[in-house]
Chains A and B, each alone.
Chain A
Amino acid sequence: MATLEAEALRKSFGGIEAVRGVSFAVQPGEMLALIGPNGAGKSTCFNMLNGQLRPDAGRVRLAGRDITGLAPRQVWRLGVGRTFQVTATFGSMTVLENVQMALLSHHRRLGGLWTPVRRMDRAPAEALLARLGMAEQAGRPCGILAYGDLKRVELAVALANDPRLLLMDEPTAGMAPPERAALMALTASLARERNIAVLFTEHDMDVVFSHASRVLVLDRGTLIAEGAPAEVRANPRVRQVYLGSGAMQGGY
């Protein structure tokens, strides 16, 4: 069964139809890229998938269960982790504490009034950070971190939920090209290892074409192409949408 199914999602803001009937599915262990020019509606799709926004029409199903209209925190409880295009972390906490919070929430221990956080879920949080190459940064406050590192913290936070679905909105923004490739390779191997379904958006076409198992192309709220990276890259309509942006040149 598909981990995530989106069915005919629609969303308008005032007069703008940001998403106009988008359907797709993500399979366990798959890296699905959702690409498209600025303003295509990618983030809006993400927001509908994790409950940040309620779709005007359409359904979202997680492992067959209808989750349309659930609040983000309820969607998290069902095993979804997400990163944001503009990173959102707890600035007054260290990197380690950010991850600990996600772990504590996952283990439903956030109501605790007595035991200090510093003694809870520390080892698994450190292990997770080590896996993402962030061990050195563990003690630094998130408020002063570089943008690329914040993206990594968000990934660690999302992974702390032991997710079956990972939603990553531009996970490599703010990183140098070699770092991007490394991070996506790591994500892909984690996805395979833990059978996580990954949906991500990305503007760097190198990253997309070398790490996605499948690609969806969104333009002005409508899906215009879907398929294996090579197919999509050859698609004339996709090339037309991206023409002039220079973004498609990367793979040649």
Chain B
Amino acid sequence: METLVLQALSGLASASSLFLVASGLTVIFGVSRIVNFAHGSFYMLGAYLAWTLVTSLPRGHLGFWGGVIGAALGVGLVGLVVEVLLLRRIYRAPELFQLLATFGVVLIVQDLALLAWGAQDLLGPRAPGLRGSTGILGMRFPDYELFLIVVGPVVLGLLLLLFHRTRWGTLVRAATADREMAAALGVNQRLLFTSVFVLGSLLAGLGGALQVPRESVNLHMDLSIIVQAFVVVVVGGLGSLTGAALAALLIGELHAFGILVLPKITLVLVFLVMAVVLVLRPHGLLGRPQDRAQPATGGAEPVIGPAPRPLLRLGAAALLAAVVLPPFAGDYALSVLTEIAILILFAASLHLIMGPGGMASFGHAAYFGMGAYGAALAAKWLAAPMELGLAVAPLAAGLFGLVFGWFCVRLSGVYSAMLTLAFAQITWSVAFQWVELTGGDNGILGVWPAAWATPKLVYYYLTLTLCIGATLLLRRVIHAPFGYALRAQRDSALRAEAIGIDAFRTRWLAFALAAVMAGLAGGLFAYAKGSVFPTFLDIPRSVDALLMVLLGGVQTLSGPIIGAIAYTGLQEQLVRLTDLWRLLLGGVIVALVLFFPQGLAGAARARWETRHGDA
């Protein structure tokens, strides 16, 4: 009994912390419709800044609390800079581009933090006056946790007061409810958006600063908190403050008791809850249907046609080079080339659902990983040869694609994307925590190709054939009636249904097909590496796929190919050139979003079209 109470209390403390971060995220989304990936980075910055301030200011109450407040204000200032320099220019851009831009900020902040504070975990001092613990039912409970439990509701109360008792708050609520109307009322949008973003960043910074006495400050704080904050915001309903509070409570307690009851599946549990909530309530607990202010990928999508002749020639030349040159390449180059071929297919499969399908997926790595694990598990437990493993990979991924897709394609926009993320995290957790089957963190080793395919060159040719073949097949599908039906439902669901297209079924099958192709890529990847690990299906890999597609351009068929090559090449080069590759990559991404909003292939195409009239 006592443990239960204590557990509930510690659940409340986490809920409080979670709410601080999530509240900022949801308020920002409500007004600007920006899904801010960098929110977790602001949280991390808050923690680092607080650590610096608290350790350098004189000890005592003033030093500590002054440091915490100073850190929050400092992060608010960073938010101001990011808003004015970057976000302000892309409010009208498609959702996914905004996401890409904020992800660029994540990368930049990571390296800046590394530069400023180093890679080691930092331990901060405990809060003065709250170092002790209080007896509750005969057990000790830390005072600082009790303090955190109070902070959450206080901040919620203050925010509600702010939103309901001030003119500024009324404007924020009006803009959240109806953006166009608020604009029509003559609200100074610029100022409103900027101030909201600063407030949200400040809250994230405060959340991070308050963690300093609780846990070590490190460079992984950003991604781990952003995923949880996304979950809270989505479960609560995008834009809903009270919803976020409710969801934070739910998730916080779930965590606390999950560890007690089912320590094996704590990681899954949270995402399972999110999946269940979204299936039952497609707009979260307290959210309302979004007005689709912008389509996921951009305004009027361009017509697609057969590839222009120069592009075909370029493609043929590249393919020729990919076939003829490798015999002269070393082992390392062969590995890189093999990987690029695999990533091209991976990106092309995601492109099918993002481009023609008009859906976003934050969890495409699930199917890549599922293919890899399918092959590896078959090899480990059934002693399946490579040929069989490569057949199992797409099948396993496709099967999961059918099941997960059935839920995901029912929702729209950010909600749908978050559900894909939830499913991906569930599969990741299973791979990570079901040690008996998957080896957990140690992965599955010894997934070797068949004897004939062992030479690196042979395996490269095998990969090239399968990946390019599958990518061309996807291209063919996009030009075929099925691909047109997919675009039709994206362009106008109303018209599509009115001419007999089953939009749901079309999206669903496309999702499954994308999963099959990602699975094949994953299977090939497993044999190329000789092993599989949970990282094959974690968030960074999903983000890689997103970046490749967006970098190349969603709206062109060659986009994913160019994106995959550019991204891998860029990363490869940057890693070799400098330790600060994240900083550079982030900078490049931000620059691309600002200057090439249509992606590389899109920009090239626009150039081509202005030069040759509209082809």
Contact = CB atoms under 8 A, between A and B. Distances in A.
B302 interface: yes
B495 A88 contact: yes
A28 interface: no
Given A101-B485, A111-B482, A116-B479, A92 B304 contact: yes
B593 to A, nearest CB: 22
Contacts of A82: 498
A231 B477 CA distance: 56
Interface string B486-504: 0110111011111111100
B89 interface: no
A15 to B, nearest CB: 20
Interface in A66-96: 71-73, 76-77, 82, 84, 88-94
Contacts of A97: 303, 484
A117 interface: yes
B481 interface: yes
Contacts of B310: none
A90 B301 CA distance: 9
Q: Give the interface size bracket for B toward A.
A: 20 to 34
A112 interface: yes
Interface string B81-101: 000000000000000000000
A106 B481 CA distance: 12
Contacts of A94: 303
B104 to A, nearest CB: 28
Contact of A110 (B301, B482, B497, B498): B482
B61 interface: no
Contact of B476 (A76, A89, A114, A118): A114
A156 B494 CA distance: 17
Nearest to B513: A113
A18 B423 CA distance: 42
Nearest to B555: A92
Contacts of A92: 300-304, 487, 490-491
A102 interface: yes
Contact of B500 (A73, A93, A143): A73
Residue with the greatest number of chain A CB neighbours at <10 A, chosen from B302, B476, B488: B488
Interface residues of A, number: 38
Nearest to B306: A118
A240 interface: no
B31 to A, nearest CB: 27
Contacts of A88: 492, 494-495, 498
A117 B479 contact: yes
A245 interface: no
Contacts of A148: none
Given A92-B491, A120-B481, A101 B303 contact: no
A52 B493 CA distance: 12
Given A73-B498, A88-B498, A110 B302 contact: no
A38 interface: no
A37 interface: no
Interface string B444-459: 0000000000000000
A141 interface: yes
Contacts of A104: 481, 484
Nearest to A108: B500
A140 to B, nearest CB: 9
Nearest to A104: B481
Contacts of B306: 116, 118
Nearest to B506: A110
B487 A93 contact: yes
Interface string A136-164: 00000101100000000000010001000
Contacts of B479: 116-118
A101 B498 contact: no
B481 A110 contact: yes
Contacts of B476: 113-114, 116
Given A72-B497, A76-B498, A105-B500, A91 B482 contact: no
Interface string A9-41: 000000000000000000000000000000000
A3 interface: no
B485 A110 contact: yes
B477 A113 contact: yes
A98 to B, nearest CB: 8
A137 B397 CA distance: 43
A118 B476 CA distance: 12
B481 A93 contact: no
10 contacts: A72-B497, A89-B491, A89-B492, A92-B491, A93-B303, A94-B303, A106-B500, A117-B481, A141-B300, A157-B499
Interface of A: 50, 52, 71-73, 76-77, 82, 84, 88-94, 97, 101-102, 104-106, 109-118, 120, 141, 143-144, 157, 161
Given A93-B491, A101-B501, 11 more contacts: A72-B497, A88-B492, A89-B491, A89-B495, A101-B485, A105-B500, A110-B482, A115-B481, A116-B479, A143-B303, A157-B499
